[in-house]
Structure 1
C-alpha cells in the first residue's frame, strides 16, 4: 500500500516545520505566548532562572549599598546603624533579597529607617517581584490548563466510510467522548486538503476546501454525550462529487476534522 505523508497527524499535531524564519524578533514581541508554547523542560528552566537572576540582582544591589555605606566595616559595632541589620556579606544580602521578594520575613535581617536608598530599593524590589510573580505564575497556569490532554479522551473512528443513508450517498465517520465531564458548545467542521491547479495554471499544493457536515442545518453543533455519526452528503456542491470509486484510491487528498468546544470542568 502506498504511504502518503500526512499534513495533520492522528494525534492532532500539524506535520509542518517552519524554516528560514528571518524575523525571529517577532517571537519576542509576544513573549508570553512564546513561553507558553515552549516544552515543559524549557519552561521550568526559565522559571527557575528568572527567579534566581532577580534574587541575585537585587542581592548584589543590597550588598553594594551596605558596602558603599561602610556597613561591612562596622559589623558587630553596636553604635553603628546599618542599612540592613545582620547583613554581613553577599550571602546574607542574597538571603535578604529572597526573603524580601518572597515576603518570607524571618525577622533576623531587617531594614532600618536610617537608609533612604534601602527603602527605595525595597519598594522597587517589591513591585518588580510582584510583576515577575504575576507573569511567571500566569504563564505556568496557562501552560497547565491547556486542553491538549483532554483531546486524548475524544475518540474518532479509525476509518471513514462512504455509503447510502436515507437514499443519499454520504461520507460518514464517528466521534465520541470517553469522559463523564462533557464538551460544552461542541461544534465540528472538516477540511479537504488537496492540490489544485487554477485555470490560470497556478499550482496550489495544499488547497483547503470546506466539507459541509451540517453547517446550514445546525448538525455541526453537537451534544456529545454519546458517540455521534457525522455525515457529509456527496452532492454537486461536494468536493468529492467528481471523484469516482475507481479514482478514490489513487487520489492524493487528506480530510482534516476539527472538533471545537469548551471543557465543562475548566472552561
Structure 2
C-alpha cells in the first residue's frame, strides 16, 4: 500500500516538475534566468535608464517615483536651510529689524522643506518667497525649478508610457488552453484557437510558431531549446488576419513537419514546447504588440476538435459563446500522419490502372482435328 502510494506521489511530482519546465508561460511571460553577467553589461542597464524604468514592476516604479520627489524636496530643503543659515536669516541669530533675508519666513528646517516643496511643484502660497537682495537664493531657485521640470517630465512620462504600453493590449488576446490534432480538409492538422476580446482590430496581424526541443547534432553537440519553425495558417492565410471573431489556426502535419513522426501514443513521451506568437499593430495607438503562449505535450490532445462557438441570432447578429472557447470533443482521427498518407496513397492506387511492361501475350492456335 505504501509502495503504491509512494509511486503515485512520485509520478505526480515528476508530472508537476515537467509541467513547470517551460520557457514561456501560458500568459506569455518568459521563464529564463541570466547568470554570471559581466559588470559592464550591468552598467548598460543604467545607460538605458528609460527602458530599465519601463520594464520595472509597478511597486518598484512607484517606489522610485515617490523617492525621487521626496528626495529632491528634502535635498533642496537642506540647501535652502544652508542659505538661510549662512546669511544669518534664522531667528536664532536675532536679525535686526532692517535685515533683509534671502527667503522670507524661513524659521528652521521644516519651513525650508515646505518652501522647497512649494517651489518645485509651483504651489506658491505667498507666505514664503525669495527676495531680490540675495543672488545665491535666486540661483538656487532657478536650479530647483529646472530640476523639478526634468523630474516631473521623466516620471510622469514613464508612468504614462507604462500604462499605454501595447503589452496591456496583448492581455485582451487569448489562446485556447489546449491544442488539438485532428483532420481538417482531408489533412492531419494541429489546431489552436485564438480570440480577440476587443472589438478594435489588430492591423496587419501575423501568426507563427516555434517548436523548442533538445536535439543532438551529428557532431555530438547537444542543443538545448533548439528552435524549429512551425507555420500556422487559417483559411485566408497567416497574414493580415481579419481578427474580429475567434479564429482557429492550424498547422498541417506533412512530411516536413516535426510532428510527422509522432503518434497518438508517443506524443506524451516527447519533450518539446510549442510557442505560438501573434504580432500585430494596435488600431488605436499604431503601436506594435506581440502575444505569445506555449503548449507542452500534455496540453496537445490527439483525436479532438474544438466545439463551435460562433452562431447567428434571429435578429441577424453574430454571437460568440466564450464558455465553449477551450472545449473539445473527440472525433475519429488517424493513429498517425504516416498512416493517413498511406491510406490516401492506397486509395489513389486503387482508382488507377497500371501497365506491366514485362507481360507478353502469346497466341495459341486452336485446331479442330484431333489425331488419334
TM-score of the aligned structures, taking structure 1 as reference length: 0.90
* Partners of 2:204 and 2:239 within 8 A in 1: no
Report the equivalent of 2:251.
Answer: 232
Distance 2:94 2:63 in 1: 37
1:167 counterpart = 2:186 = yes
Report the equivalent of 2:218.
Answer: 199
Distance 2:201 2:173 in 1: 10
- State the superposition RMSD in angstroms: 2.3
Alpha-carbon offset, residue 266 of structure 1:
4.3
1:30 counterpart = 2:48 = yes
* Partners of 2:214 and 2:223 within 8 A in 1: yes
Name the larger-Rg structure.
2
Alignment counterpart, residue 62 of structure 1, candidates 80, 85, 107: 80
Report the equivalent of 2:271.
Answer: 252
Q: What secondary structure is seen at the aligned counterpart in 2 of 1:204?
A: strand
Alignment counterpart, residue 46 of structure 1, candidates 60, 64, 72: 64
Alpha-carbon offset, residue 148 of structure 1:
4.2
Distance 1:139 1:52 in 2: 17
Alpha-carbon offset, residue 39 of structure 1:
2.1
Q: Structure 1 residues 220 and 251 mapped into 2: Cα distance closer, same or farther (>3 Å)?
A: farther
Report the equivalent of 2:300.
Answer: none
Alpha-carbon offset, residue 52 of structure 1:
0.7
* Partners of 1:189 and 1:220 within 8 A in 2: no
Moved more, 243-252 or 5-14: 243-252
Report 1:14-25 matches (<5 A). 14-23=30-39, 24-25=42-43
Alpha-carbon offset, residue 263 of structure 1:
3.2
Report the equivalent of 1:87.
Answer: 106
Q: Structure 1 residues 64 and 241 mapped into 2: Cα distance closer, same or farther (>3 Å)?
A: same
TM-score of the aligned structures, taking structure 2 as reference length: 0.66
Between the two proteins, the alignment pairs up a number of residues equal to 266
Distance 1:92 1:206 in 2: 61
* Partners of 2:211 and 2:274 within 8 A in 1: yes
Runs of 4+ in 1 over 6 A off after TM superposition: none
Alpha-carbon offset, residue 17 of structure 1:
2.6
| Structure 1 gap segments, 5+ residues each | none
Report the equivalent of 2:137.
Answer: 118
* Partners of 2:203 and 2:240 within 8 A in 1: no
Q: What secondary structure is seen at the aligned counterpart in 2 of 1:114?
A: coil
Moved more, 31-40 or 197-206: 31-40
| Structure 2 gap segments, 5+ residues each | 1-11, 287-372
Distance 2:185 2:259 in 1: 19
Report the equivalent of 2:29.
Answer: 13
Alignment counterpart, residue 164 of structure 2, candidates 145, 156, 165: 145
* Partners of 2:102 and 2:131 within 8 A in 1: yes
Alpha-carbon offset, residue 25 of structure 1:
2.7
Report the equivalent of 1:186.
Answer: 205
Report the equivalent of 1:99.
Answer: 118
